[in-house]
A and B are shown apart, each in its own frame.
Chain A
Amino acid sequence: MVMVAALEIRPSDGTRAALRAAGATYAARCYQCGTCSSVCELVTRDFTFPRRQMMLAQWGLGGSLARDPAVWLCHACSDCSTRCPRDAKPADVMQAARAVAVEGFAVPRLMGRIVSRAGATWPLLLGVPIASWALLVGLATGFAVAPHEVFAYERLVPHSLIYAVFFPVAAYVSLVGWISGRRFWSSLAGGERRRGAFLSALVPTLVDIILHRRFATCTTARSRRQGHLWLVLGFLGAAVTSGLLILAIYLMRAEMPLGLGHPFKLLGNLSAVFLAVGGWVLLRDRLAKRRHVGTTTAFDSFFLGVVVLVIATGIVVEAARFALDPRVAGWLYIVHLGAVMCLFLTTPYSKFAHILYRTLAMAHERMVASGRSVASRSETLDGSLAHPTH
């Protein structure tokens, strides 16, 4: 083991409390036997977790946790929690560490705090977007829909309006994500030295993520991997569809709404099916309180809730166009748009942010994996939650 200069330990009660609030309820029980690390299929010879992270959590060394890529390499498959001899639920602790890190890197911090406390703030988070859509639509078309026509939502909410709103939102999300990502990336650099080019690490990482390769090694939570995979593919499909629609509307000048047989339409619906299945699987696991699921915090529920709401309203809205009174359908559509906007706006602060941090952490890990020396992984151990800026 490489000798390193004496590190100073600065335990923090605050961090311990924050982690407990975020679901690390039983971290204190851990007696450092290492069963968790030895049963985790994701650890490599020189890069083990979550045993060490349990120690950091017990002592409230949040700063170190925030900088620890291991927190993001864990896929919460819960093999560790199943075997933990003290039932300290390491998977929950890693989950909590991620939540706390997302809040820590959030820009602005206020948004991070609001979303992390979704248990209390969810009416606001969901209500404001829906209300503002209702307002916008009111101003734009005043809900004037002629009943006799075959109903198209475009008549109620012009595409132009949708894009006028969602383009800036997307821009904001990307900007905020970029800043947080940068901070996270540089804090990771405080750990081990990276080798090689970022891109050459990013591409294989993305493939891993999309195909859930790491997830596949999990034994306890197979179903979760399935649900997760469906969901990610579904969202990808939805995103692609939205892009294609822009082509359809402004370049191809296609007649809206597209016929059900239209390839874009088919893709969209297929994505909807994927999302529905994925959402159902995850929801079922949560409700069934499967052991591997671990503790469900308000933060988790809110995120899952919004996702489910988006999917549900999306599907219902599509059907409603034919089945229901245009006014009712119209209101459903507005709720749907609100939910989507909520999902968009909270992305940098919710579990969606995992995509960002996990991708970076995995890329980082690829870049340092070669020639790692174990000791060099922990140069300061502090309890501060403030994101470390170097």
Chain B
Amino acid sequence: MSAATTKPLLAVGAGIAGITTALEAAEAGREVVLVEREPAIGGRVLRNHHYFPKLCPPSCGMEINTGRLIRNPRIRLMTATQVARAARTAGGWTVTLVRAPQYVNERCTFCGECSKVCPAKVKDAFNLGATEVPAIRPYHAQAYPQRYVLDRAACPTGCTACAAACSYGAIDLDARETQETLDAGAVVLATGWKPYPLDGLPELGGGRLADVIANVSMERMVAPAGPTGGKILRPSDGAVPKKVAFVQCAGSRDVNHLPYCSAVCCLASLKQAIYVREQLPETEVKIFYIDRRAPGRNEALLTRVAAMEGVRLVKGKVGKIEKGPGGSLSLRVEDVESGTLLAETADLVVLATGMVPQLGADAQSFGIRRDDDGFGLNDAAARVFVAGVARRPEDVASSVRDATGTAAKAIIAAGR
């Protein structure tokens, strides 16, 4: 595969799937352009505290992948970049990439002087908006590229405090959006997923009750860098929950919401049950499920959690969640095994919300076909492939396998 004679591959999305596709193709000798909408790579996985079933930090694998990325001369990474247009050509695709204004450029040394003087506060996108941070800040502490980001819209008119504070000329408040055109031999869309919206589940208190949170928020809450510095607290009053309930299939396997199974929620909740028990040994955990879906070696995680003292798995889908006595929440659910109606109370409810494929304008410009659930389909003839959760609900392990194979498919389609 002589890279010189062939066009580069374009990988859209630098989450675990996109990074993997890019790295595997590049390490095989292929030129790759990796574009990411956010200012830093890592996507959803870096927002997770731990991976199941090993309960190891995603930052560990990401550290290695970042190193591979830095060392590899064949990968060009473009963050804060999106696909504006794409046109089929005989040899692949001509793609117009739009890069958001680089108010903080590559000169940035991560020294932090700008943050100290920034008067504006914004919601922290990395913590899913759960905290406030200066408008100019590191996207997160492990962010790569290691560079501060500025939410320009939040700047008070005429404020140039950060630019003045920067001794490296890294801040250009007048930076403009830039465009460039790229000829790609093949395209891999690894645009990932978004959580099913909480307020789509009002009957379960989603968006209505402060102490009903999504599993993705739980991941941030237990992360040392999260909004509570890793403490599991009830959002409404910051109290330590004595009872935590996990509601499975919140929006998944449900014709009124997502008709498919999101494939990871059971394991995510089992993992989070361990978070709770390890941090709060006094706290009771209940997991309400339809089927305990722990395929392959993940079964060991189910066995482990099921055997844990203070954890109970109950077969039954929660139908209603309302305010309960003393600031608690009350759940209506049938214990299917005993056929009794339980009126459960909990201080904190975690909805195991499912994954919705994220194939936005980026993906649409390649005219990819989608299945009835909105997941993208490979189209070798059109030289467009989909990897990771944008293609199918799956866990990180299968995403990585899938993304590695997709690199091969893209290389073949692009022609050697």
29 contacts across the A-B interface (CB closer than 8 A) = A32-B290, A33-B290, A34-B316, A34-B317, A35-B317, A35-B319, A37-B334, A38-B316, A38-B317, A38-B319, A38-B320, A38-B332, A38-B334, A38-B341, A39-B203, A44-B341, A45-B341, A45-B343, A48-B334, A48-B339, A48-B340, A51-B339, A83-B256, A83-B319, A85-B249, A85-B255, A86-B255, A374-B340, A377-B339
A52 lies within 8 A of chain B by Cβ = yes
Q: Which residues in chain B, 283-337, are within 8 Å of chain A measured between CB atoms?
A: 290-291, 315-320, 332-337
- Give the chain B neighbours of A13 by CB distance below 8 A: none
Interface residues of B (CB under 8 A from A): 203, 249, 253-257, 290-291, 315-320, 332-341, 343
Q: Which residue of B lies closest to A377 (CB)?
A: B339
CB within 8 Å for A45 and B255 given contacts A38-B332, A83-B319: no
B60 to A: closest C-beta gap in Å: 37
A1 near B337 with CB under 8 A, answer: yes
What does the 1/0 interface line of A340-357 toward B look like (CB < 8 Å)? Answer: 000000000000000000
Q: Out of A45, A83, A85, A86, which one reaches B340, CB within 8 Å?
A: A45
- Give the chain A neighbours of B255 by CB distance below 8 A: 85-87
A31 near B341 with CB under 8 A, answer: no
- Give the chain B neighbours of A52 by CB distance below 8 A: 339
CB within 8 Å for A85 and B339 given contacts A31-B290, A34-B334: no
In the bound complex, CA of A351 to CA of B340 (Å): 30
A48 near B256 with CB under 8 A, answer: no
Interface residues of A (CB under 8 A from B): 1, 31-39, 43-46, 48, 51-52, 83, 85-87, 374, 377
Q: Which residue of A lies closest to B335 (CB)?
A: A34
What are the 8 tightest A-B residue pairs by CB atom distance, in nearest-first order?
Answer: A38-B319, A34-B334, A85-B254, A33-B317, A37-B334, A39-B319, A34-B316, A33-B290
B341 near A43 with CB under 8 A, answer: yes
Q: Which residue of B lies closest to A38 (CB)?
A: B319
B289 to A: closest C-beta gap in Å: 9
A4 to B: closest C-beta gap in Å: 13
- Give the chain B neighbours of A43 by CB distance below 8 A: 334, 341
New A-B contacts (14) at CB < 8 Å, excluding given A31-B290, A39-B319, A85-B253: A32-B336, A33-B316, A33-B336, A34-B335, A36-B319, A38-B319, A38-B332, A46-B340, A46-B341, A51-B334, A85-B249, A85-B256, A86-B254, A374-B339
Q: Which of B203, B249, B333, B340 has its CB near the most chain A CB atoms (within 10 A)?
A: B340
A38 near B333 with CB under 8 A, answer: yes
- Give the chain A neighbours of B253 by CB distance below 8 A: 31, 85
Q: Out of A34, A44, A46, A86, which one reaches B336, CB within 8 Å?
A: A34
B108 to A: closest C-beta gap in Å: 49
B341 near A51 with CB under 8 A, answer: no
CB within 8 Å for A39 and B341 given contacts A33-B290, A83-B319, A85-B256: no
Q: Which of A39, A43, A44, A46 has its CB near the most chain B CB atoms (within 10 A)?
A: A39
In the bound complex, CA of A33 to CA of B315 (Å): 7
Q: Which residue of A lies closest to B203 (CB)?
A: A83
- Give the chain B neighbours of A35 by CB distance below 8 A: 317, 319
CB within 8 Å for A37 and B341 given contacts A31-B290, A48-B334: yes
Q: Which residue of B lies closest to A52 (CB)?
A: B339
A160 to B: closest C-beta gap in Å: 56
In the bound complex, CA of A245 to CA of B257 (Å): 58
In the bound complex, CA of A1 to CA of B255 (Å): 32
B317 near A48 with CB under 8 A, answer: no
In the bound complex, CA of A45 to CA of B339 (Å): 9
A3 to B: closest C-beta gap in Å: 12
A337 to B: closest C-beta gap in Å: 48
Q: Which residue of B lies closest to A88 (CB)?
A: B255
In the bound complex, CA of A43 to CA of B335 (Å): 13
In the bound complex, CA of A54 to CA of B377 (Å): 36
In the bound complex, CA of A377 to CA of B253 (Å): 30
- Give the chain A neighbours of B319 by CB distance below 8 A: 34-39, 83
- Give the chain B neighbours of A39 by CB distance below 8 A: 203, 319-320, 332
In the bound complex, CA of A69 to CA of B257 (Å): 33
A29 to B: closest C-beta gap in Å: 9
Q: Out of B291, B333, B343, which one reaches A34, CB within 8 Å?
A: B333
Q: Which residue of A lies closest to B253 (CB)?
A: A85
- Give the chain B neighbours of A31 by CB distance below 8 A: 253, 290-291
- Give the chain B neighbours of A33 by CB distance below 8 A: 249, 290, 316-317, 336
- Give the chain A neighbours of B318 by CB distance below 8 A: 38
In the bound complex, CA of A246 to CA of B53 (Å): 81
Q: Out of A45, A46, A85, which one reaches B317, CB within 8 Å?
A: A85
In the bound complex, CA of A39 to CA of B322 (Å): 12
- Give the chain A neighbours of B291 by CB distance below 8 A: 31
A86 to B: closest C-beta gap in Å: 6
- Give the chain A neighbours of B340 by CB distance below 8 A: 45-46, 48, 374
A74 to B: closest C-beta gap in Å: 15
Q: Which residue of B lies closest to A33 (CB)?
A: B317
Q: Which residue of B lies closest to A51 (CB)?
A: B334
B339 to A: closest C-beta gap in Å: 5
Q: Which residue of A lies closest to B258 (CB)?
A: A85
B397 to A: closest C-beta gap in Å: 26
Q: Which of B256, B257, B316, B317 has its CB near the most chain A CB atoms (within 10 A)?
A: B317
In the bound complex, CA of A39 to CA of B316 (Å): 12
Q: Which of B319, B320, B343 has its CB near the most chain A CB atoms (within 10 A)?
A: B319
Q: Which residue of B lies closest to A32 (CB)?
A: B336
In the bound complex, CA of A44 to CA of B340 (Å): 8
Q: Which residue of A lies closest to B336 (CB)?
A: A34
Q: Which residue of B lies closest to A44 (CB)?
A: B341
- Give the chain A neighbours of B341 by CB distance below 8 A: 37-38, 43-46, 48
- Give the chain B neighbours of A34 by CB distance below 8 A: 315-317, 319, 333-336
Q: Which residue of A lies closest to B289 (CB)?
A: A33
In the bound complex, CA of A1 to CA of B203 (Å): 30
B371 to A: closest C-beta gap in Å: 19
A375 to B: closest C-beta gap in Å: 8
B333 to A: closest C-beta gap in Å: 5
Q: Which of A37, A38, A46, A83 has its CB near the most chain B CB atoms (within 10 A)?
A: A38
Q: Out of B290, B316, B338, B343, which one reaches A1, CB within 8 Å?
A: B338
